[in-house]
Amino acid sequence: MSLIFKIIAIGLITAISVLIIKPIRNDFAILLSVVGGIIILLFIIKYVSDIFSTLQMIVGETGVNSSLFTIILKIVGVGYLTEFTASLCSDCGIGGLGDKVLLGGKIVVLTMALPIINNILSMIIGLLPS
């Protein structure tokens, strides 16, 4: 639980610092925002690896197709990275670019999900009477 307090503290300190510095040096404010985001990401890396280990254990025990599981993990990763990048663009004052990053991320996710959709449709067709 102390991790969330650290993340909140870094977020608040970064936000307040950006608000103070932005009128004086906008370029430093953007850099400070990026650094704050990177520090938060560094705090959570260990927990992300724990999540991956647990999910791999679940896949091993259940016998779920590991290639589908890999695709799902990649989709989640693309979603998080896209959201982080779009937020960063918005922080820099170029929200329009952030919107385009989100659109690109959605297209990539849909493309990556096609094998899963195909697999589900194949299972449904297999259940239907001939």
Instruction: Write out the two tokens for 93.
Output: 């004052």
Confidence of residue 10 (pLDDT cuts 50, 70, 90): very high
Round to whole Å and give the CA distance between 70 and 76.
10
pLDDT tens string 48-107? 888 888 888 888 888 777 788 888 889 998 998 999 889 888 877 888 998 999 999 999
Query: How many other CB atoms are found less than 10 A from the CB of residue 11?
Result: 14
What average pLDDT does the structure give for the chain?
88
Contact 108, 76 (CB under 8 A): no
Q: Whole-model pTM?
A: 0.71
pLDDT of res. 1: 64
